[in-house]
Copies of this chain bind each other. A is one copy, B any other.
Amino acid sequence: MSSQAAPGSQKIKVVVSRHLGPDVMPLLLDRPELDVVVWPEERACDRRWLLENIVGATAALVMLSEKMDQEMFEAAGPGLRVISTMSVGYEHIDLKLAAERKVKIGYTPDVLTEAVADVSVMLAFMASRNVRETAELVARGDWSKTPWAPFVFCGPQLSASWINTTRTAGFIGLGRISKATLARLIPFGFTHCIYTGNPHSKPNLEADAQTAQKYGLQSVRRVGLDELAAESDVVFVLAPGGPETRHIVNESFLRKMKKTAVLVNTARGTLVDSDALAKALREKWIWGAGLDVIEGEPDVRLDHPLLKESRCVILPHIGSATNETRLGMGTLAVNNVLAGIQGKKLPAELDT
Question: A116-145 CB contact bits vs B (8 Å, 1 = yes)?
Answer: 011101100110011110111111110110
Contacts A119-B129, A157-B322, A316-B138 given; does A144 touch B302 at CB 8 Å: no
Interface residue? A211 (CB, 8 A): no
A258 CB to nearest B CB, Å: 14
Q: Which residues of B contact A184 (CB under 8 A)?
A: 184, 187-188
Interface residue? A161 (CB, 8 A): yes
Q: Which residues of B contact A297 (CB under 8 A)?
A: 143
Q: How many copies does the complex hold?
A: 2
Which residue in B138, B164, B298 is a CB contact (below 8 Å) of A144?
Answer: B298
Q: A108 to B326, alpha carbons, bound, how many Å? A: 44
Interface residue? A49 (CB, 8 A): no
Decide: B114 and A189 in contact? CB cutoff 8 A: yes
Q: A141 to B56, alpha carbons, bound, how many Å? A: 40
Q: Which residues of B contact A315 (CB under 8 A)?
A: 131, 134-135, 138
Interface residue? A102 (CB, 8 A): no
Please list 21 pairs of residues, one from A and one from B, whose beta carbons are closer than 8 Å in the complex, sorted by A's number: A20-B150, A24-B150, A42-B149, A43-B147, A44-B147, A44-B148, A63-B150, A114-B161, A118-B125, A121-B121, A121-B125, A122-B129, A126-B131, A137-B316, A140-B302, A143-B300, A144-B300, A147-B298, A157-B324, A163-B324, A163-B327
Extra pairs beyond A42-B149, A153-B316 (16, CB < 8 Å): A20-B150, A21-B151, A114-B161, A129-B318, A134-B318, A138-B307, A138-B316, A144-B299, A151-B326, A153-B318, A154-B321, A155-B321, A155-B323, A156-B324, A157-B325, A163-B327
A interface residues (Cβ-Cβ under 8 A, vs B): 18-21, 24, 42-44, 63-65, 86, 111, 114-115, 117-119, 121-122, 125-126, 129-132, 134-141, 143-144, 146-164, 180, 183-184, 186-189, 297-304, 307, 313-318, 321-328, 330
